[in-house]
Amino acid sequence: MPDADSRPLAGRRLYFVGIGGAGLSAYANVALALGAEVRGWDLRETIFMETLAGIEVDLGGDPAPPDGWEAVVSTAHAHRVAGTRRGAFLAELVAAQPSIVVGGAHGKTTTAAMIAYVLRETGGDPSWIVGGVVPQLGGNAAAGSGWLVVEGDESDRSIGLLRPDIAVLTNIELDHHATYASETELRAFLDDWLEAVPNVVRSWELEPVSFELAVPGEHNRANAAAALAALELAGTRRASAEEALARFTGVDRRFQLVGEARGISVFDDYGHNPTELAVTLRTARERTGRKLIAVYQPHVHERTRQLAQELADALALADAAIVTDVVGARDAPRDGVDGKWVLDRLPASVRAGWAPTLDDAARLALAWADDGDVVVTLGVGEPWKAARAIVAGLGA
């Protein structure tokens, strides 16, 4: 924790609109540690509010920053109230201390968490802001006196506002069709951003690590290689970094075991685009010789419209797929675009289930699951609620 002389936000009153999101909950925690008074608003309770100890949160209705308070507004709620956009506030934090920014379509949360964990384990006293709860770090954000490790977001181009000392790019894949017309446009945007960064790590230029990790999957070997390259640039000895990294056990909602009962294992994962769904389901497939049941909550209408077939192809790695309606306030609903767009494209070999709500999905998964099966809930929103309901329904 910074001492009294290093609290650059002292005297500011910040009201975070969308404080229950993965990003703004982390920003709020760091702002509090850096001396600001902090409050916030969100539509409903979320899993990230469990990290907001000591912060008052208004739920429901419309956001109403008190007189004299600055609003910091998430992209999803920019239409609700005027204020500083999320990306501009993060740019302030990145400019205030030596920083490492991790971007990319997949793996940026885990890679950023790996870097922050190793820095802390090797005595670096880092600050970090990541888009997931990291049990070994005690949350999704903290303020220290060393390097600041953060995720950048290309979905709204706000990563382009950040000027770190070190940038890590895990991969490039068109995932935000409402922002970029093509992957070529996305690549050009990222290239322009990286021109202003003195030290750049591109994951695809590295060999995945060969030593044993506590987190499963070839994708995490690639994430670890990128993390190690960034840590070396930050001055951490590779041998010390590898030793610490081998102890890293992951981020919540990244193939997280929620519970087991009656011989059925239930996992939850943040994966929401085709590549992430496929990686997670392949990892899950290794856990069972019986049925693999996927429960997927599509996120944002434009992604669902553009990638319905690719999403269905990924879900086809399961034996059964249950799909809910689309969630996400980032774009407006489109006529006819719902979870059925994905479901209707599944091959006949996959048992398909339509469940408009997560409660419906949990009930259907419970009806379908048998001894030895694996159930995986997937998506950006709140599929973790379905995972918990399934475990509760199994009597765990």
pLDDT digits (tens, 9 = 90+) for 279-295: 999 999 988 889 999 99
Burial of 201 (0-12, 13-18, 19+ CB in 10 A): buried
CA gap 118, 95 in Å, rounded: 22
Q: Compute the distance between CA of residue 379 and CA of residue 174 in angstroms, rounded to an integer.
A: 17
Q: How many CA atoms lie within 13 A of 74 on its CB side?
A: 23
Q: Do residues 144 and 33 lie in contact, with contact meaning Cβ atoms separated by under 8 Å?
A: no
Name the 3-class secondary structure at 227: helix
Residue indicated by tokens 């994708």: 219
Least confident of 1-15, 52-66, 339-353, 375-389: 1-15
The pLDDT of residue 396 is 61
> What pLDDT is attached to residue 4?
39
**What is the rounded CA–CA span in Å between residue 68 and residue 63?**
15
The span from the CA of 321 to the CA of 344, in Å, is: 11
Q: Do you know the residue count of the chain?
A: 396
Q: What is the DSSP letter of 224?
A: H
User: Residue 6's pLDDT band (boundaries 50, 70, 90)?
Assistant: low
Give the pair of three-digit tokens for residue 7. Answer: 């609290």
13 bridge partner residues: 37
Stretch 205-223: mean pLDDT: 94
Q: What are 149's two structure tokens?
A: 């490790």
pTM, two decimal places: 0.80
Please, which pLDDT band fits residue 182 given cuts at 50, 70 and 90? very high
Strand 256-261 and strand 264-269: the pairing is antiparallel
User: Who's near 307: CB < 8 A, 6+ residues apart?
Assistant: 177, 273, 274
Q: Structure tokens of 59?
A: 């739920």
Closest-CA residue to 112 (of 281, 254, 255, 1): 254
Give the pLDDT band of residue 223 (cuts 50, 70, 90).
very high
